[in-house]
Copies of this chain bind each other. A is one copy, B any other.
């Protein structure tokens, strides 16, 4: 006899019906509740830990839970059999949100524009790289031992040797290093390795070690996105990227976008919680990177972060509330280099933390980093950079000037607000093709059954809808079409079934509704019109722009052709487009590796003019015109227009 049980999942709460004897993980999955699991429910990976607050479960013995965890109610969801009504709490680390993103490979998903890279390294070579150009540099020194004819102080001896053939005008060091200096120099027989750190305009002796440890000099570049956090481990001597890790920003628990997080930061302990979340994120990424690469944490002496202005404030535990209040003033756009330990980031205890400077409240260090990575500030050619993150940000300029704007596209391209949207991770449909008879071909990340649709596929879908005529140019689904994929849902809204439930891992249809389409059109309209207004405000047209750099979380799967068809990107020669992936971390990496790059970034941030789109009278008209597929004015999209005919 089947006994009904009620399982209440937290956070939420979400109440789900189940039967006594059901497997807890399966019940959660059927209900669309995300619980992490790597081993597929075999009780091996230990990723699906949940806490049973109320009610009874039975479960096998396991070594994956400590005695303390079991006493606090922890159980592996995949091995828990429901015995009664339950109240179940899903800790952040057991959701996909809390789990690390699978990164396809450094060269691939997170590499930055090879063009920018080659240009820059050549240039640095020509310039003869300043010996401690990286945020942290290790130098092995053999000091002459003192005698009566040369008995300057130990510190003077060290400074003297450091300055031999090196231009280090302003050098500082802390009392901690001075206190240890005499004993260290003598016990190491005057052979020491000095870690020099760049603290803005000055050079700091960060650490002094006995013997030659100069080979062990690593740094971390971090992109702090509103949604994802990515870290690269970099050998600061060879400039090689040794590993890359990504994870979802734990702050998501407190709000999806920067505005809700700023609001949350004003609540009691809000700022502390948001700060703790991102610091935990970064620490966990660093811990994974050093462990997997067999590196000591103490050999990591530098962290360089790029993030939007709010993310940077939260990282440094600076109240971000004035960012969202007119006239939108951040506390700091340039933040000084500090000791990483000051914000709880765990590297070498005296290691440094630097952040890429921001332009304004809504154009952050991530954009500065993007401009640097794309090399816009070095080129006489006019370029546009569009970053499609949780918000859309646009830069236009060249080596002489740059303007930028943020457009409130919202996180639609990250799957947010979509009925079946999700971020680009395991189970996400990444690319879609639809034939004239509405047959749907799709590819899924990880090649399993699909779970939802991520950004690149959403763009594909809209382009295909237009091409094969699923929708009108207004975005309305043609209800009259002869296909079982189109139907009217319980809210009386038309929707298109992309994947029927038989093929999905949720046992529910994966659909796109007219509401979803509206969302996507508004998002693309914001980006397209923002770009158009920005270009036009400078008295230019799209044809004047030589390079169109696109960065964002699409992975390597953004289909430029379809993005144009959809009306997201202007209809210009395709060779002008270059998808440069995560340009924020690319720029962060460059700043980590070279002070010259950091100074360039500072100059970029300082010189860039932030443009308030809403203050341009034509913006609303332009935006309204862009709410069509691809646009009200078809003449702007000649190739699309031709294809549609």
Contact = CB atoms under 8 A, between A and B. Distances in A.
A509 interface: no
A124 to B, nearest CB: 24
Contacts of A202: 170, 172, 201-202
A500 interface: no
A104 interface: no
Contacts of A329: 146, 151-154, 157, 182
A103 interface: no
A111 interface: no
A316 B178 CA distance: 9
Contact of A178 (B154, B155, B172, B335): B335
A497 B178 CA distance: 52
Interface in A326-379: 326-336, 338, 342-343, 358, 360-361
A358 B181 CA distance: 17
Contact of A148 (B178, B200, B612): B612
A2 interface: no
A32 interface: no
Contacts of A175: 316, 318, 335-336, 338, 342-343
A549 B336 CA distance: 47
A434 B182 CA distance: 53
Nearest to A173: B336
Given A183-B319, A316-B175, A612-B148, A334 B154 contact: no
A321 interface: yes
Contacts of A186: 322
A174 interface: yes
Contact of A170 (B201, B319, B322, B335): B201
Contacts of A170: 170, 200-202
B331 A153 contact: yes
Nearest to A199: B172
A516 to B, nearest CB: 35
A326 B148 contact: yes
A147 interface: yes
A343 B170 CA distance: 24
Interface string A142-171: 000011101111111100000000000110
Contacts of A326: 148
Interface string A419-448: 000000000000000000000000000000
Given A153-B334, A153-B358, A178-B336, 10 more contacts: A148-B612, A151-B329, A154-B331, A175-B336, A178-B316, A178-B318, A179-B331, A182-B329, A182-B331, A186-B322
Q: Considering the complex of A and B, which 4 residue pairs feature the smallest CB-CB distances, nearest first?
A: A155-B332, A153-B333, A151-B327, A153-B330
10 contacts: A150-B327, A151-B327, A153-B331, A153-B333, A154-B332, A155-B335, A170-B201, A174-B338, A178-B318, A182-B318
